[in-house]
Amino acid sequence: MSRKPRLPPPDPEPLAPLIDAHTHLAACGGRDPESVAAILDHAQGVGVGAVVTVADDMVDARWAVAAAEWDDRAHAATALHPTHAGDLTDETAEELRAMARHPRVVAVGETGLDYYWLGKSDDCASKQQQHEAFRWHIDLAKEVGKPLMIHNREADRDLLDVLAAEGAPETVIMHCFSGDEAIARECVERGYVLSFSGTVSFTNATELQAAARIVPDDQLLVETDAPFLTPHPYRGHPNQSYCLPYTVRALADLRDTDAQTLAGHLTATAERVYRIALPSV
C-alpha cells in the first residue's frame, strides 16, 4: 500500500508579532538565500517575523550560520544534537566554540540527552558520549554567555541532574518541552524557560497541557520544531514556521487568555532570552 504525501496545512489566520523559537530551516527545504527567504516570507505573511534555526550536526551548524547571515529574520543555534554527540572531537569542539561566538548565533543548542534513540538507531551516540557532550555544551554556553537550548527525550531526571551538577548557565531553554506538570514546576522554579511545540495541541496530550498552564508568561516560548510536530488538526502533515499561530491559539485556550495578549508575552520573552529584536517592517 502506498501512502499519499500529505499536503501542507493551509495558512492560519495571521497573528503578530510572533517568533518561532526553534525550527530547522534546512530540513524544511531551505537550501540557498532564495529558498530561505521564501520560507521566511511565508511565515512573515501570517505574523511570524523571525525564527531561530537550529543545527543537528556540523554540516547543519555551518549551514544554519550561513542562513542567519543571508536573512536578518533568521537567527542560528549551533551544537551537536545528543544523537550526534559522538562527533565531538578536538577539531569539532574548536569549530563549535568559534561558531558559538558568531554574532548571528543566539544560543548553544540543541544539546541534551536523547534516550529514545538509544539502542533503536546504530547511529545514535552512547549514553556516555551524550553525557560528555552535554556537559561540554553547558560549559560552552557559560563561556560565551549565550542561552543553552536543551533537547530532552525520555531523559527528564538525568537531564535535570546533570544540569544541576554541572551548574546551569544563566538562561536555559527547554525546547519542545515534553514533561508533566511536576517536571514543569521544577524547571520553572529553577528559572528555566519552557518552549512548547505543536505537541501541546494534540488531543491526547493531557499531561503536557497541564504543564503548559502553570508556566509564567515570562518563562514561556513557542516553537514549531518544523518540519515535524505539526499542530492539531494537521498532525502528520509537513510543518513550517508559518504554522506557528495554530499552536499559539491552542496555548491561549489552554491558558485561558486571548491569542493576541499571549503573542505579546511570547515575543517579549523570545526577544529577551535570545537578545534579538524583530526586524521593523
- Give the residues lining the site for Zn ion (CB under 5 A): 110, 151, 225
98 HSE (CA, 13 A, CB side): 7
Angle, helices 206-213/181-189, rounded to nearest 10 degrees: 30
Buried b (16+ CB within 10 A) or exposed e, 213-223: eebeeebbbbb
Smallest distance from Zn ion to CB 20, Å: 11
Nearer to Zn ion, 40 or 259 (CB): 40
Buried b (16+ CB within 10 A) or exposed e, 106-138: bbbbbbbbbbebbeeeeebbebebbbebbebbb
Smallest distance from Zn ion to CB 220, Å: 18
Adjacent-strand bridge partners of 108: 78, 148
Adjacent-strand bridge partners of 195: 221
Smallest distance from Zn ion to CB 81, Å: 7
Other Cβ atoms less than 10 A from the Cβ of 77: the count is 31
C-alpha to C-alpha distance for 239 and 178, rounded to whole angstroms = 18
Smallest distance from Zn ion to CB 13, Å: 26
Nearer to Zn ion, 60 or 110 (CB): 110
Residue 89 contacts residue 83 (beta carbons within 8 Å): no
Nearer to Zn ion, 110 or 252 (CB): 110
Residue 33: is the preceding peptide bond cis (ω within 30°)? no
Smallest distance from Zn ion to CB 31, Å: 18
Smallest distance from Zn ion to CB 56, Å: 7
Cβ-proximal residue to Zn ion, closest one: 151
Nearer to Zn ion, 137 or 255 (CB): 137
Nearer to Zn ion, 151 or 249 (CB): 151
Nearer to Zn ion, 176 or 251 (CB): 176
C-alpha to C-alpha distance for 130 and 60, rounded to whole angstroms = 18
